[in-house]
């Protein structure tokens, strides 16, 4: 997940690990068996075709695509190339409503310490 986050941030997507992992893990919790079936049929070198098929037009589709990228466990270079495809559309979306904020309790605790 670190490689995905790093590549997104390197390409100007303002997202943090908390938000990325929350949405990827949420999709996995709800659709794990479907994702497991898909990754068996996807060649990591054909992520461009997967990206085009998903037709990333909103935040949810971008997260669905990134969840596949995460599960494929391809080489770092292949993962970075796959993430670059979704970086451009993600920069255009206003996904502030999807950002996971640090809880009030954690902010207070970190301020105290």
Number of domains the chain is built from: 1
Average of pLDDT values for 38-48? 93
First-to-last C-alpha distance (Å) of the chain: 28
pLDDT of residue 105: 45
Q: Which domain holds residue 42?
A: 2-112
pLDDT of residue 48: 95
What mean pLDDT is reported for the chain?
87
Query: Which token pair is 77?
Result: 């270079």
Which residues have C-beta within 8 Å of that of residue 46, sequence separation ≥ 6?
none
User: H-type helices in the chain, by residue range?
Assistant: 2-10, 17-41, 47-54, 59-72, 76-92, 104-112
Distance CA 18, CA 41 (A): 29
Range with the poorest average pLDDT among 11-25, 57-71, 76-90, 96-110 = 96-110
């Amino acid at each position: 997940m670190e490689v995905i986050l790093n590549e997104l941030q390197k390409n100007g997507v303002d997202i943090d690990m908390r938000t990325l992992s929350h949405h990827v893990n949420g999709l996995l919790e709800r659709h794990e068996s479907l994702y497991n079936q898909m990754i068996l049929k996807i060649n990591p070198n054909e992520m461009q075709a997967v990206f085009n098929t998903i037709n990333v037009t909103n935040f949810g589709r971008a997260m669905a695509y990134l969840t596949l990228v995460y599960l494929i466990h391809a080489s770092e270079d292949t993962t970075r190339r796959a993430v670059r495809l979704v970086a451009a559309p993600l920069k255009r979306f206003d996904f502030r409503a999807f950002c996971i904020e640090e809880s009030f309790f954690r902010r207070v605790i970190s301020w105290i310490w």
